[in-house]
A and B are shown apart, each in its own frame.
Chain A
Amino acid sequence: MKKDNNNRGARYGMVIDLDKCTGCGACVAACASENNVPVMHDESDKTRSINWLQIYKITNGKEFPDIEIAYIPRPCMQCDNPPCVPVCPATATKRDPNTGIISQIYTRCIGCRYCMAACPYHARSFNWFDPPFPKGTERSLTTEVSPRMRGVVEKCTFCHHRLMSAKQRAYAEGRRELREDEYIPACAEACPVNAITFGDLNNPKHKISQLIKSKNAFRLLEKLGTEPKVYYLSSKEWVRRMADNYLQGEFESRN
């Protein structure tokens, strides 16, 4: 696969500090509310429910009382080398060269779910049903994100509409350039412990560009070469290892 890493525009990315993350779920609630994410009657059915941002709980596998836990919030990784894009027969999902964000156009999607099969992060959800909203709560839908219909795939967009409104605000003030804090996704804004940092990876002045240089920085399943733009920080080695699905002796045997 040839990398479609067009760096002319911004490359928006995210750093999630797992040492800070308390797994509270405020990001999930904020995300769902920001993006008109429907709620199933049975949300425990994770193969049917729609989750743009999902939190996973991992443990170090040790016994009481040496066990430790960590939470991994998982938005769309917005890969620079996205496995979901080339498989789409309808060109419904593309890497936006302006932002590096993987777009998903619901009205174009034909619901074949190849992208879901291709995504190693389970970041995509399929609308098996007409998106259900608890009766009355459709009054709180926002106009910034279009509600989906049955039979299409959806996923996190780094709250792309927030970029558009930030641009619109900047234009109103006669600016073309955005300040670092003008565009952040709902999860990053909601995170009550500031565990999520958002910014342009192509801009060395952005805080995120410094953070990813940390020795504690890692990405999920890096070895697959998907080049995710979501980075994690953890001071715990077992967390960093688990992120790459590391198996005992895996790399040794290869040599």
Chain B
Amino acid sequence: MEFSRRNFIKFVAGGAAGTMLSPLPWKLIDDIAIWTQNWSWVPVPAKGRFSTEHTVCTLCPGGCGIEVKKIGERVVKIHGGEGFPVNNGAICPLGAAGQQILYNEGIRWQTPMKRVGSRGSKKWEEISWSRAIEEIASKINSLRDKGTPEKLAAIDGNFSRSTLALLIKRFVNAIGSPNYITTPSEEDTYSMAFQIMQGNKGPVAFDLENADFILSFGCGLLDGWGAPGRMSNAWAYWSADKHAKPYIVQVEPRLSNTASKANMWLAPYPGTESALALGIAHVIIREGLYNKEFAEDYAFGFQNWVDEEEKKHKGFSTIVMEKYTPQAVQKITGIDSKEIINLAKKFATASRPIALAGRGKGILPGSLYDFMSIHSLNALVGRINKKGGVLVPDELPLAQWPDIEYDSVAADSVAKERIDKAGRGQYPFAESLINKFAQAVNDGSSVVETLLIFSSNPAYNTPNNTDFIKALDKIPFIVSFSPFIDETSLFADLILPDHTHLEKMMDTAWPAGLQYPVYTLSRPVIKPLYHTRHSGDVIVSLAKKIGGSVARSFIWDDFEHALKDRVKGLYESGRGEISSNKEVSPWKNLNAAHLSKKTYTSFDSMWEELRGIGCWFEPEHSFGNWSNIFHTKTKKFEFFSTDIDDSLKGYAGKRPVQDILATLGISSSGDEVNMPHYEKKGAKGEREDNGIVFLPFEIINLASGWVGNPPFLNKTLFESQLKRDDIFAEINPKTASQYGLKEGSRITVRSSKGEIRVRVHIFDGARPGIIFVPAGLGHTAYDKYLKGKGANPYTIIDGTEDPLTGQPVWWDTRVEILKI
């Protein structure tokens, strides 16, 4: 019995037969098939109980209620909050992709970090919270010991009126620095225009849902402007009922989503909106279509007038009649005079028209004279504080915190001039000027030793961010509170990461542009994923660490207590309600005497309800009243601003006002300086004479503010917007052929500030003579889903500054186009 070749074969044959008679091959085939369906690296989502938590989205100041769907402790989906007063179920693409902002590890700082390498080397080491807070406290204390706490500055992107913004400002002031700087927005320009013309700085409130004619000078009503959830809801309401639908006119040089949905689209040359508005005013006055009651009894400076010194002044109507004939305006704006006349008549004869100023989403500021000119249309047709018009509301009845306690050091230096010079002199109306801050640091006129940066990414989206980045280089100690690995935080020396929106409590006091008072409160729907801390809590502990009067100005245990103290004001006012009722749209019956549906009997029960529902609101407004809503010097709506007049005289001092206008960058003269008017572009010359104009634009599906675009939204970009890492600039075919450009051509766009590389998308919706580049790409930070994709249009912005406000002009950059 030998193991010969033959027997071996027999053995194998037997083995084969045995194998076939065993389950081995059959089971193996089956299992292998299943194996190929279950690669170990394909994620298997953890099972758990489904639940829904109600909160508020705080990715933008829109104040939308959201429903967060969870499986176990995991957030899996975000829906619009049904019945929530602001958005009633609507959600924007950014909000819907919010869980990616929470979970995307590549964009988040997970723990406090201290820079160890040189700036920009991206070398960091972890540091404990207590050590980090100690380090900042000791920096601040040494500034205070030297008597120079004003060398600390803070840049804050939190929503105006929000508790976190107020808390940060309080902290900066309490240690003795006046240098609390906010990131600029359209609301700032509106506030200034309202301050000047109406004497009030209250929230910006537009009763759009009740308007029957909306004349929007560039507001991207459907492109993410204001409170996007509210605007979508309004569009849904208008689309469902043709009687409710207003006639919408969109004035902007590019065919945006809003323009494409509008009844009329006018594309003037950018920066000439004020001329167009005044051309419309001209026709309205000429045709006698203005509201005579308002113009005569409640407005100042409409007719010619004589001042105390018997000096004669031309009124708004006279100047507009002289200077802004439709023909003259046609020359300035490029809009046909017949269209201007037609539009003016339509606007003035509508029953509830409203005119709006702004650009895109309203993340960036506009021009004061533009806003004044456009708002004067609302005044002309008597649409202020009327149903469907621009409302003049009071502030929310939130409680004030006790006054800050200043010690001698703080009291001295908090009164010093701000680094950005806002609020006095040349910029009497501005509250804060981030561009001037950068300038002052760069030219060495001011020294900043410590900079705290909250909820903003100025190194990315400040117009002309290169100047800002240069300024950062000169500041020895920078602390970033950003939860994100954004451009600005990469310049920081210390990173104290905040929670992301779903992990923290935040409030929105009056969502942008809403016509009735709303206070929203978000609450954490998930435990913090990482070793992050609420910036509000960090501020409170920092104040306590610094001690003395600073600590005594922060009497609260934490952020929540500080916020609760403000909310007590809502309770004590006895006003408003907390409810979510799908059936009632609060704006529908603002006028009606409102039956309060209060269900709470104590502050504690109110607090519980507010936390659960997330929204306090008051569907009331007293319309029609013109006699005591204007708080200007004349107690009237001012076509001629006594405020500007006084401020300029004050600034000029002994000099005649005429002499200082040039330094202020104002090209007009005389009374016009105090009135809505069109500012000719000075140095750069008119129109196309001086090269092609470069204009960034915003789209709703591309986050262009502080929060980076979530990966899901990359899916929504067209191939004509982003192809691989190339972003596309939209150019009219006529302009393209002038420059010999074809679809997909690669070009360099160069301004005096720098250059970006883009590709060309030929688009008839682009006004000739302008090159349009979307904002939101071109990041140099975040993760691979954002970093290095496209170009950042803000880097090459080369604008002047807006007269009187000092805000950056970002719509007037001239560029060269170079083919690659």
Contact = CB atoms under 8 A, between A and B. Distances in A.
A29 B712 CA distance: 6
A26 B105 contact: no
A41 B785 contact: yes
A44 interface: yes
Contacts of B716: 25, 28-29, 55
A143 interface: yes
A45 to B, nearest CB: 7
Contact of B106 (A43, A131, A136): A136
A137 B257 contact: no
B91 A20 contact: no
Identify the interface centre among A19, A44, A133, A143: most chain B CB within 10 Å of its CB.
A44
Identify the interface centre among A29, A136, A147: most chain B CB within 10 Å of its CB.
A29
A93 interface: no
Nearest to B100: A137
Nearest to B95: A26
B724 A39 contact: no
Interface stretch (A8-16, A63-71, A115-123, A243-251): A63-71
Given A147-B44, A189-B79, A193-B239, A63 B764 contact: yes
A26 B699 CA distance: 12
A141 B712 CA distance: 13
Interface in B680-725: 700-701, 710-720, 722-724
A8 B108 CA distance: 52
A20 B90 CA distance: 14
Contacts of B79: 30, 189-190
B233 to A, nearest CB: 7
B267 interface: yes
Contacts of B711: 39, 43, 134, 137
Given A20-B239, A22-B261, A147-B43, A64 B77 contact: no
Interface in B617-667: none
A135 interface: yes
Contacts of A28: 93, 701, 712, 715-716
A140 B101 CA distance: 11
A142 B71 contact: yes
Interface in A106-144: 106-107, 130-131, 133-143
Contacts of A65: 255, 265-267, 767
A220 B635 CA distance: 61
B260 A133 contact: no
Interface string A62-96: 11110111100000000000000000000000000
Contacts of A142: 45, 71, 76-77
Contacts, number: 205
By size class, the interface of chain A is 35 or more
Given A26-B91, A43-B715, A137-B100, A143 B71 contact: yes
Contacts of A194: 236, 239-240
Identify the interface centre among A46, A49, A138, A143: most chain B CB within 10 Å of its CB.
A143
Interface stretch (B34-42, B142-150, B395-403): B34-42
B26 interface: no
A44 B255 contact: no
B768 A26 contact: no
B165 interface: no
Given A20-B235, A65-B265, A143 B724 contact: no
A36 interface: yes
Contact of B39 (A30, A41, A150): A150
Contacts of A70: 260
Nearest to A55: B716
B765 A59 contact: yes
B772 to A, nearest CB: 12
A19 B242 CA distance: 12
Interface residues of B, number: 81
B216 interface: no
Contact of B99 (A43, A67, A140): A140
Identify the interface centre among B38, B255, B716: most chain A CB within 10 Å of its CB.
B716
Contact of B47 (A20, A22, A36, A143): A143
A200 interface: no
Contacts of B260: 68-70
Interface in B409-436: none
A23 to B, nearest CB: 6
A227 interface: no
A102 interface: no
A33 B76 contact: yes
A142 to B, nearest CB: 4
A2 interface: no
Contact of A139 (B74, B235, B239, B255): B74
Contacts of B235: 20, 22, 192-193
Contacts of B718: 57
Contact of A135 (B97, B104, B222, B720): B104
Contacts of A49: 715
Contacts of B228: 192
A44 B723 contact: yes
Contacts of B96: 26, 29-30, 33, 190
Nearest to B235: A193
B267 A44 contact: no
A29 B38 contact: no
B700 A24 contact: yes
A150 to B, nearest CB: 7
Interface in B757-788: 764-768, 783-785
B732 interface: yes
Interface string A136-161: 11111111000111100000000000
A29 B74 CA distance: 18
B92 interface: yes
Interface in B298-326: none
Contacts of A39: 711-712, 714-715, 785
Contacts of A51: 715
Interface string B105-122: 110100000000000000
A205 B46 CA distance: 39
A23 B257 contact: yes
A193 B700 contact: no
B232 interface: yes
A42 interface: yes
Nearest to A67: B764
Nearest to B335: A65
B362 interface: no
Nearest to A22: B222
B495 interface: no
Contact of A140 (B76, B229, B723): B76
Interface string B205-248: 00000000000000000100000110011011001100000000
B257 A67 contact: no
Nearest to B267: A65
Contacts of B734: 64
A140 B100 contact: yes
A34 B99 CA distance: 12
Nearest to A136: B105
Interface in A161-213: 186, 189-190, 192-195
A139 B103 contact: yes
A64 B764 contact: yes
B80 interface: yes
B236 A192 contact: yes
A134 B106 contact: yes
B90 A192 contact: yes
Interface in B50-87: 71, 74-80, 87
A44 B74 CA distance: 29
8 interchain residue pairs of minimum CB distance: A136-B105, A192-B232, A25-B716, A192-B90, A25-B701, A43-B714, A141-B45, A67-B764
Given A33-B96, A37-B715, 19 more contacts: A22-B257, A23-B257, A26-B93, A26-B95, A28-B715, A29-B712, A30-B91, A39-B785, A59-B764, A65-B265, A133-B43, A135-B783, A137-B99, A137-B711, A143-B47, A147-B44, A192-B92, A192-B229, A192-B232
7 contacts: A22-B700, A65-B767, A69-B260, A133-B43, A134-B785, A140-B100, A141-B76
